[in-house]
Amino acid sequence: MTERFDLFINNERVRAPGQEDFPAVNPYTQETWARIPQASDAQVADAIAAARAAYEGGWRQTTGYERCKLMLRLAEIMEANADRMAIMETTDNGKAIRETSGQMRSAARAYRYFAGLADKIQGATIPIDSREAFDFTRREPMGVCVLITAWNSPMGLLSNKLAPALAAGNCVVVKPSEHASATTLEFAGFLREAGFPPGVFNVVTGDYRVGQALLRSGRVDRVSFTGSPGVGAQIAADAGARLVPVTLELGGKSPNIIFDDADLDRAVPGALVGIFSATGQTCIAGSRLLVQRDVHDEVVARLAERARRIRLGDPLDKRTQMGTAANAPQFERIIASIEAGVSAGARLVTGGKAATGDGLGRGFFIEPTVFADVRNDMELAREEIFGPVLSVIPFDTEEEAVAIANDTRYGLASGVWTENLPRALRMIDAIHAGTVWVNTYRMAQAMAPFGGYRDSGFGRERGIEALEQYLQTKNVLIDYARAVRDPFAD
């Protein structure tokens, strides 16, 4: 049976008579498994109004301890439902269940981490020049925040935004991607179960029209967006026209650099994880693999042999190592990028086409693909493919590796594989990216700040830095001088 989801506004499931909706398609079977509502402008306005009323009606005055207790309860509910939510997310976006299961538990960890910060928000006393005045700061919530998430990791991306927003004392309206909305709508019930007051958390779903209605309402206090640079630029423009601050977590074309002194038994699996996890559909994918020439051929051979053994199959099967592309448009874009790479002269080492065979059904499967002899000026190395496509680029010297790594409009993540500590430290200093992993890749933690340079966005998620995105500073000065200060006195 096709499941039907409703909007979530003011702690209520909402569906208007004749509500427009659209299908949620399982990318493994290409069958509609759910119907998702297309929120109207009026429903978007209702969600914003509910959040505003909750914020002004008492939520902004809650103590950090009260918010902490609610968030810890939310984490418990999330953990109790992790397996069910993982199945739902895998059904919605085709990511292997072994990955979505881990992401549900990581999301719960994020709510626990920020719950621990909720009662530790504090200002400072400021020494000023006057001896008869006292100056201090207060840290206060922003107000109503709009959180817009992408389709590749709905629950993980939401936890990056929602956990600090709630800990800081804000109310939120969430818009998930129209390509993967189900888990966010299901998750909404967890907040009600945890005891969050009506209006603190609201979800409106739909296409770009919903995003426009949210951003052009003029009644929100912060926007946080995860998605493509093109959409991010439009969101920043719409928000900027209303002087609304924005956090943008955008794309990447991340360099993963293997030096000739690296432990290849670690570096090769690390390169595979960097690009083929989540079918390459992650902003941090190590899609440019820079390999020092002395070990280049060995690394390429090892990569090809290991890539051919990656197990594709039903994403709900725990034995499956790589799932499908998340939707038909994404599948088509990835295939087109592969074909363009071949036409440009890159050497296709393995993969390169749609995967077929036993157990793959009608799914949007793509073979794990490795290109060699890639130049950094090729489209393969310039544009984010967001799929299981690895471009291997040779280099000779450390200086050349830095030049290639930084020759991109992006700056989200990077990796360095070397046993030479001074070299690792030099690379950390030289690479222009928000994250540098050394002898690992794609390791994320709730307490470690995450975000990009350049076209990869601005602002930070996770860590204490994320909490700062959802707070504003109020300065207070108290004059306690005995003498009257009257500059206009006779």
Per-residue pLDDT of the chain (490 residues; tens, 9 = 90+): 789 999 999 999 999 999 999 999 999 999 999 999 999 999 999 999 999 999 999 999 999 999 999 999 999 999 999 999 999 999 999 999 999 999 999 999 999 999 999 999 999 999 999 999 999 999 999 999 999 999 999 999 999 999 999 999 999 999 999 999 999 999 999 999 999 999 999 999 999 999 999 988 878 999 999 999 999 999 999 999 999 999 999 999 999 999 999 999 999 999 999 999 999 999 999 999 999 999 999 999 999 999 999 999 999 999 999 999 999 999 999 999 999 999 999 999 999 999 988 888 789 999 999 999 999 999 999 999 999 999 999 999 999 999 999 999 999 999 999 999 999 999 999 999 999 999 999 999 999 999 999 999 999 999 999 999 999 999 999 999 988 778 887 7
451: amino acid identity, one letter: G
**Catalytic residue flag (residue 283):** yes
Active-site pick, 186, 249, 384, 461: 249
CA distance 475 to 470: 17
Q: Cα Rg for the chain, rounded, in angstroms?
A: 24
Q: What are the beta bridge partners of residue 117?
A: none
* pTM exceeding the 0.85 threshold for the entire prediction: yes
Active-site pick, 68, 145, 171, 283: 283
CA distance 90 to 86: 6
Task: Annotate 286-296 with b (16+ C-beta within 10 A) or e (fewer).
Answer: bbbbbbbeebb
pLDDT, residue 83, reads 97
pLDDT, residue 302, reads 98
pLDDT, residue 275, reads 97
CA distance 157 to 421: 33
Residues 6+ apart with CB under 8 A from 77: 190, 193, 194
pLDDT, residue 361, reads 78
pLDDT, residue 489, reads 79
Task: Annotate 90-114 with b (16+ C-beta within 10 A) or e (fewer).
Answer: bbbbbbbbbbbbebbebbbbbbbbb
DSSP 450-486: B--SGGGEES-BSHHHHHHHTEEEEEEEEE--SS---
**Catalytic residue flag (residue 68):** no
Classify residue 322 by burial, with Cβ atoms within 10 Å: 0-12, 13-18, 19+.
buried
Domains of the chain plus CATH, in order, are 3-250+452-475 (3.40.605.10), 255-438 (3.40.309.10)
pLDDT, residue 486, reads 80
Contact 199, 58 (CB under 8 A): no
Classify residue 490 by burial, with Cβ atoms within 10 Å: 0-12, 13-18, 19+.
exposed
C-alpha 171 chain-centroid distance: 20
**Residue 128: which H helix or E strand, with range?**
none
